[in-house]
């Protein structure tokens, strides 16, 4: 990590998040992987066993591995494993997700009811559209609205490519990761409105969910102000729609209740 990311050079654990969730009246969260290792996936699941606020885990398994079938059998037994993710944005090959061995791994997830999170930059969106089109029965979630260049006010081609991805009904989107794409600690809530307008128009309220990207969001804002970007934006909508975006959609798409029962 660079010096600018120094605030992240410490442990952030469930006991740090608990009071933040409570302050905004959230019951829990989904923990998402940051390291591509089986050890971290096991650790996140162990944390979820000990802390009720972690209602689901999006972990990592190597979709290209010949051991994937056995690993899925092992890990998917855990009721709190709700999805998987790979750091696609860091792969040198922009089309990494379309490699045959990666797609073979994606093809094995649906029987286990696992969501696949897409961590992308705008340049990856056309490849993502090809991937999700190939697997119409697989639920995908686009993380961080694909990280548009909010700091520059740039909308195209992100807007057009996002709209194309949203035409596939098996894709939902997290309203998260925006503050770190804006001017760090110098943004205003209205800086995000045109991006939120685009995402709402493209996906519709039933395929959107709030996310914090905590603790990474701390690079550019505190937890509460980060979450309030979306919470204040949706106040214009019905109470039922607000509840969907602020929790119900997440529980439904990641099958929180069905997997935990």
Spell out the domains of the chain, with CATH numbers in brackets: 3-260 (3.20.20.140)
Half-sphere exposure of 142 (CA within 13 A, CB side): 34
Res 260 pLDDT > 70:
no
Residue 17: the pLDDT is: 97
Percent with pLDDT over 70 in the chain: 97
> What is the per-residue pLDDT across 183-212, written as a single tens digit (0 to 9) for each?
999 999 999 999 999 999 999 999 999 999
Pick the closest to residue 176 from 205, 144, 142, 148 (CA basis): 144
Degrees, nearest 5: CA angle 233-152-96: 90
Q: How far apart are CA 13 and CA 190, in angstroms?
A: 31
| DSSP class of 10 | S
pLDDT tens per residue, range 64-94: 999 999 999 999 999 999 999 999 999 999 9
Overall average pLDDT of the 157-166 stretch = 98
């Amino acid at each position: 990590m660079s010096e600018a990311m120094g605030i992240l050079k410490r442990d952030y654990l469930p006991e740090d998040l608990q009071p933040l969730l409570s302050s905004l009246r959230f019951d829990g969260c989904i923990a998402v992987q940051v390291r591509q290792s089986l050890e971290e996936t096991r650790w996140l699941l162990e944390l979820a066993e000990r802390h009720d606020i972690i209602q689901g885990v999006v972990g990592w398994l190597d979709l290209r591995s010949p051991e994937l079938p056995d690993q899925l059998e092992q890990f998917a037994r855990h009721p709190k494993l709700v999805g998987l993710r790979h750091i696609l944005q860091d792969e040198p090959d922009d089309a990494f997700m379309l490699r045959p061995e990666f797609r073979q791994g994606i093809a094995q997830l649906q029987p286990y009811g696992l969501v696949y999170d897409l961590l992308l930059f705008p340049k990856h969106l056309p490849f993502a559209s090809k991937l999700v089109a190939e697997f119409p029965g697989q639920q995908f979630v686009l993380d961080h609205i694909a990280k548009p260049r909010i700091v520059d006010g740039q909308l195209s081609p992100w807007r057009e490519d996002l709209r194309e991805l949203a035409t596939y009904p098996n894709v939902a989107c997290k309203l998260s990761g925006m503050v770190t794409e804006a001017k760090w600690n110098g943004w205003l809530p209205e800086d995000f409105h045109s991006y939120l307008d685009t995402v709402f128009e493209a996906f519709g309220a039933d395929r959107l969910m709030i996310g914090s990207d905590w603790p990474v969001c701390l690079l550019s804002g505190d937890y509460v102000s980060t979450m309030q970007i979306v919470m204040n934006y949706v106040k214009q909508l019905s109470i039922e729609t607000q509840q969907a975006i602020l929790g119900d959609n997440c529980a439904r798409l990641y099958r929180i209740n069905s997997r935990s029962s």
